[in-house]
Chains A and B, each alone.
Chain A
């Protein structure tokens, strides 16, 4: 992609506050949050909305009312009806995938201006019935005579009708994300304490960034609630008063006896939406749009879920850098998604591990350690929260903002995802002329 004529510019990335699920956004839906963020994006940058070629949106929990959410976002926000849109699901990599497709189409010259984002509102998820109940309802609706209906009714079992709340588990392994993370902690010998320390830093860094109003640019305030009485202009997962002592007291949630993963060192269930506005560099300059940075390359890896499900970042970072001939020291900002502290630490451990790097990455030596001062310095998903479909885009915006402020040229974002996948995106803050 680097050799293509037109670079892909990130105009900006905006997001809603990320808040605890089943909380202040309980009256919102994936659609309503997305609409708000898109509207703010187009009005803030004086976007010629008729120039928008496409809207690409990621969301993980299936949308019952609007299967193709991206198109509905356009229609329900009053934007030109001529903008097409499609929705994708690549688990926690969804919004990164939206961005990648947008970038590809821009650099191919097919598109010039694209809205790419993602959303997750767990407060608005469909509650599926059991398979037995589903079959019963379908048969009942097809039954023609009363006799047929009665005979169906005679065979019912009330247990069928207990709604089965969805779990965040891997269909292929039957284990939840947390259980997989426990396995990774064991495999990479990640201690409970190091996980808690990592989480503590996530909270303290995020709190510091909030305190310094560093997220003010990217967070779009939301008025919500039945009579819009709730005003949300900040993330509400972050605990500035978090202590190691408090974290260490928490009980493990997945392996309740011998586990190390607690609610404190995992990312919480979160509602939120984020959106990137991407354009070709030529278009941005022609219209005088500000440029936050550029997307250089995007990559995905996938590994056997049975092994280390969330190890993706340990693959993607070395590969992405090698492919683009950039050394790990050239990159000033590493934004690694924190599904679980044990998972991030496992990834870091793996990259420093010679055996792993030789076997899995085909390197001669270990990739080496990334200094903690470059990783998630404004907090990560553990503190800020993790709306599955929205995290990737948030990290892109955050990485570019930090890099720009620090004067770093390169930034990298890496996000693990269910299914043993991992995605990475290489960003640059300056254009060619520099």
Chain B
């Protein structure tokens, strides 16, 4: 046999182990292997070439990247496709190349180590055998749904045939990644083995005597299982539909299509028909607004993880503030052990970073430490962590009532009560006790201007920066990092990286009242309250906004955040934004009544045993009679004022780019990802249309809708 194959591919290395061909992927231009057009063409040629080899005994596909097998399709392919026909063509072409693996006359083995996602897993599914390593970096999944798509390389067809419809639907509809152990349990891989034995085992499989292609391609699901009869499939369909409807509120068409493609494809005996169905729907989905938005969001999320400063500054910041944290040389000090403080400490401890939780009273510490330990106890009970991890994470967070304990801390996160005088006092105490210039004082606030905090410092060398966490801290992904004119890049870079170390998504914004997220949210809430004052029922406001796609309605949100907190924020912002920020006077009466929302079980809604009930009708006594207003008017007013304020933040330089604005609104406020963020959404609507609408609203409701520069630029 001629063992030399003349491949010009820069992406695939071909070598032979006796009569077995090993195709090893390593795209030199990228840190992760992905399917580009070039890669697909190269692979096509290689496989074609191999099919002419007469005494070949097997083909093994693997990767020589460190922790990545194949992370799916390169996303630029999707971005450059504009018609559904093109989309379908991409899918069909991809399927055709992958079919070369399933149709190969010799055994094909996918030897997986590292990330194996999307197209990578689909390639593996097309192979006759799959092996994966037991390594913790080995993860398998079909995350296409997160981009508003369905797998387009046979994933929707081959996966259910291999592991059954319910398990396949779970993976396809959630897009979640599973580890080797789970993959083996599901039957997704034939074996999982230590990484040093991956290729030898793959080779051994090729050498096995009995190899029947047909048998391998047959459905592996038991004849008696649910999905193998019509009624069973109907049952699965109705159950799944119900849960999709509940989880997506109908905003994500890909989920419905995925279900349809999986079930109808599975019902076909001929895989080819299923593949056709898949590519048709893939093409349709690719041009949906939802998918384009989600791809935009995916881009934003990847970009947001990159530290924006030059290497030199990053290096200095790491050396000065973070290196010592990473090795346990120093600890992060968290001042204030309340809800936010203990949440921040929990997130730090979760990443095994030593944390000292400080409070002025031992009762405060007690509650803080209890919150931290119960969080990890809970994770342990849910089997997310081992008992050893639980003990470590609980132990790395210690409590103290003595500021001296923080002497070792390069970064202090202050999360005391949201009152500027208290915060200033804490800052000054820290300066007094801990010396100046040694530490970063990161203040967690949703609205207190950082510049004002800066004025309180006694020494100009103390670095003050804003670090706005969202509640509940362990769940909410965004951290707004607020910088002033005086904040050094080094300090910002350190805090940015700390947020990443905590597993958060950092967003750097400029100082200003309410920064970015709080500010735009305040305008939306104010408008919602305005509608309430005008006579709209609370249910109508909340449902209209939920229908638009917000996770919760603005009035419910106010109850959750706390009416007192909302009032406090608005009182801070009002000074700066009057007359644009208008809050109906009656709102004061609500606060005076003692309504605080969920925390005291007394708010816009009524609460029973901690559970939210219906709207508390007595609240209307402060306002006039209720009258019906169309839901479109409701969401338009709330959203346009929100878009306008977001754009104003960009004009004022609070956010650096429209992309960052989109990112902040989605991660921090739950702006619907399928709309891609306020700026993306406005672009889809057309900037000139937004401008026209704002002008119309301005005429009707007053100058708060007056369009900012952005719309006419």
A48 at the A/B interface (Cβ < 8 Å)? yes
B343 at the A/B interface (Cβ < 8 Å)? no
Q: Is the CB of B401 within 8 A of A221?
A: yes
- The residue on B at minimum CB distance from A221 is B362
A68 at the A/B interface (Cβ < 8 Å)? no
The 7 closest A-B pairs by CB, nearest first: A78-B396, A78-B354, A228-B370, A46-B407, A228-B369, A227-B370, A43-B405
CB distance from B387 to the nearest CB of A (A): 10
A368 to B331 Cα, complex, angstroms: 52
A365 at the A/B interface (Cβ < 8 Å)? no
Q: Is the CB of A44 within 8 A of B405?
A: yes
Q: Which stretch from A32-40, A311-319, A405-413 is at the chain B interface?
A: A32-40
CB distance from A289 to the nearest CB of B (A): 12
A211 to B392 Cα, complex, angstroms: 36
A228 to B405 Cα, complex, angstroms: 20
Q: Is the CB of A228 within 8 A of B373?
A: yes
- Range of interface residues on A (Cβ < 8 Å): 20 to 34
Q: Is the CB of B362 within 8 A of A228?
A: no
Q: Is the CB of B408 within 8 A of A78?
A: no
Selected from A78, A79, A227, A231, the residue in CB contact (under 8 A) with B353 is A78
A50 to B330 Cα, complex, angstroms: 9
A241 to B617 Cα, complex, angstroms: 61
Interface residues of B in 44-90 (CB under 8 A from A): none
CB distance from B227 to the nearest CB of A (A): 40
- A75 CB contacts on chain B under 8 angstroms: 392
The contact string, 1 if C-beta is below 8 Å from chain B, for chain A 42-53, is 111111111000
CB distance from A218 to the nearest CB of B (A): 13
A44 and B404 in contact (CB under 8 A), knowing A39-B354, A78-B354, A79-B328? yes
- B401 CB contacts on chain A under 8 angstroms: 221
B366 at the A/B interface (Cβ < 8 Å)? yes
Q: Is the CB of B396 within 8 A of A77?
A: yes
Taking A31-B391, A39-B395, A78-B328 as known contacts, 12 extra A-B pairs with beta carbons closer than 8 A to each other, sorted by chain A number, are A43-B331, A43-B406, A45-B407, A49-B330, A75-B392, A76-B391, A76-B392, A76-B395, A78-B395, A79-B354, A221-B401, A227-B373
Return 28 A-B CB contacts under 8 Å, by A number: A35-B395, A36-B395, A39-B331, A39-B356, A42-B408, A43-B356, A43-B405, A43-B406, A49-B327, A49-B328, A50-B324, A50-B329, A76-B395, A76-B396, A77-B328, A78-B331, A78-B353, A78-B354, A80-B328, A82-B327, A223-B365, A223-B370, A227-B370, A227-B374, A228-B370, A231-B362, A231-B363, A233-B362
- B405 CB contacts on chain A under 8 angstroms: 40, 43-44
Interface residues of B in 366-389 (CB under 8 A from A): 366-367, 369-370, 373-374
Q: Is the CB of A223 within 8 A of B329?
A: no
A359 at the A/B interface (Cβ < 8 Å)? no
- The residue on B at minimum CB distance from A39 is B398
B400 at the A/B interface (Cβ < 8 Å)? yes
Selected from B327, B354, B362, B370, the residue in CB contact (under 8 A) with A50 is B327
- A46 CB contacts on chain B under 8 angstroms: 407-408
B352 at the A/B interface (Cβ < 8 Å)? yes
A50 to B328 Cα, complex, angstroms: 8
- B331 CB contacts on chain A under 8 angstroms: 39, 43, 78
CB distance from A24 to the nearest CB of B (A): 13
**Chain B interface residue count, Cβ-Cβ cutoff 8 angstroms:** 34
Interface residues of A in 218-245 (CB under 8 A from B): 221, 223, 227-229, 231, 233
**A positions within 8 Å CB-CB of B:** 31-32, 35-36, 39-40, 42-50, 75-82, 221, 223, 227-229, 231, 233
A45 to B405 Cα, complex, angstroms: 8
Q: Is the CB of A44 within 8 A of B407?
A: yes
CB distance from A70 to the nearest CB of B (A): 15
Q: Is the CB of B366 within 8 A of A32?
A: no
- The residue on A at minimum CB distance from B331 is A43
- A79 CB contacts on chain B under 8 angstroms: 328, 354
A228 and B329 in contact (CB under 8 A), knowing A40-B405, A46-B408? no
- B400 CB contacts on chain A under 8 angstroms: 40, 43
The contact string, 1 if C-beta is below 8 Å from chain A, for chain B 320-363, is 00001001111100000000000000000000111010000011
- The residue on A at minimum CB distance from B396 is A78
Q: Is the CB of B399 within 8 A of A223?
A: yes
A81 to B406 Cα, complex, angstroms: 21
Selected from A32, A47, A81, A223, the residue in CB contact (under 8 A) with B408 is A47
CB distance from A14 to the nearest CB of B (A): 11
Most chain A Cβ neighbours within 10 Å, of B374, B396, B406? B396
- The residue on B at minimum CB distance from A42 is B408
- A35 CB contacts on chain B under 8 angstroms: 395
A78 to B327 Cα, complex, angstroms: 8
- A31 CB contacts on chain B under 8 angstroms: 391
- B365 CB contacts on chain A under 8 angstroms: 223, 231
- A49 CB contacts on chain B under 8 angstroms: 327-330
A227 to B394 Cα, complex, angstroms: 12
CB distance from B662 to the nearest CB of A (A): 37
Q: Is the CB of B369 within 8 A of A223?
A: yes
A231 to B399 Cα, complex, angstroms: 11
CB distance from A43 to the nearest CB of B (A): 5
